[in-house]
Amino acid sequence: MAAGDGRGDPVLVHQLTEKAPESVQWLKDHGVKFQDHIYQIYGGLYKRARNPIGPRGGAYIKALLEVCKKEDIPILYNTRVVEIIREHQLSGRVLGVKVEQKGGKTLYLRATNAVVAASGGFAANDRLTAISDPRMGQLGTTNHPGATGDVLTDLIDIGAGTRGLDYIQCIPGGVPGEKHAPNLFTHVDRFLFVNLDGKRFIKEDARRDVLRDAMLDQPKAIAWTIVDADGFEQQKNSKGPENEAALKAGTLYYADSIEDLAKKIGVPANNLKEAVDTYNKAVDTNKDPLGRAEGVLVNKIIKAPFYAGRVTMKRHHTMGGVIINKDAQVIDRRGNVIPGLYAAGEVTGGIHGTNRVGGNAMADIFTYGRIAGVNAAKNPA
């Protein structure tokens, strides 16, 4: 609640925190294996994130696809929802969806129980994000190309209420024109941000919205992420393939000294060395001039080689979406339940408030996804 400036729905937030541990166990029961390592992810505020064994998103999908095959649950690929069908545009029950398949074939799918919208956010939509926050339109996105909010718009068309559409979260990503962006910032206890002058400008464990605004205020809205050999090794737990690709593409730089690294990335060597030395001293004294918390002020940057990756802010998560209640039912703009319609995940609003805590997307989608599924199954049309 505090991280979202009190703008999250207390009922939804409470339910998320109560049931998230059940979601972890549910995933384990359905074949997902987790690493033992618990860490503080970028924007996570505390050590509370866990990764599956394997690619972070792909590991969940792979395991749950196997469950779908076992339970004979059909999945339609290359199929786009183009309309949500309701008895009347702004009243009555949701009856199903109209979809368009690759090649132009149209299908109408009747919902025997309910429709569950779990289509994600709209961070890949330049126009829609810029309507709510004009800074966002030119930033680019970390999301896949399909995160355009089409289903969100369809839900609005049939009367769904929305909230928080202007709360748009960013995280670092590659600068325009660079292929294979590096990622050195996942583990907050391992990296530093410096600007194009080689100076630190923000405590790295700040909230994601604070980090976003600080970077957008830097020259050219660009920063460098700095880690040492141990930090780079730690990143392999979650971003190994990405960083290997960045090394081959020449967008990830390394050197055997901080001074040589500064030359390679084009920042004043004395500034970069002062930034690293001041940080290392802060580890010894447990007091960072920029206010980094002691819990992530534990690892010095001292072991060669040293690595640097250039980043700018990219749209990452949209906290706003349709209004739901604790049963994941979609609420219309008059405050009434839309019969036969549920929603879960990033297409919804009201859980994260102004700012999503790092790691809470997975907690959200699996917790409210389960709630939506259970309740939809209980309520036949």
Q: Which of 190, 208, 292, 315 is catalytic?
A: 208
Find out whether 313 and 173 touch, Cβ atoms under 8 Å: yes
Count how many Cα atoms sit within 13 Å of the Cα of residue 202 in the half-sphere of its side chain.
22
The continuous run of DSSP H or E covering 363 comes out as: helix 360-378
- Sequential DSSP letters for 82-119: EEEEEEETTEEEEEEEEEEETTS-EEEEE-SS-EEE--
Determine whether 56 is an active site residue: no
**C-alpha radius of gyration, the chain, whole number:** 22
- Sequential DSSP letters for 199-267: ---S-TTS-HHHHHHHHHTSGGGEEEEEE-HHHHHHHHHHHHHHHHHHHHHT-EEEESSHHHHHHHHTS
Find out whether 190 and 239 touch, Cβ atoms under 8 Å: no
Active site amino acids: 208
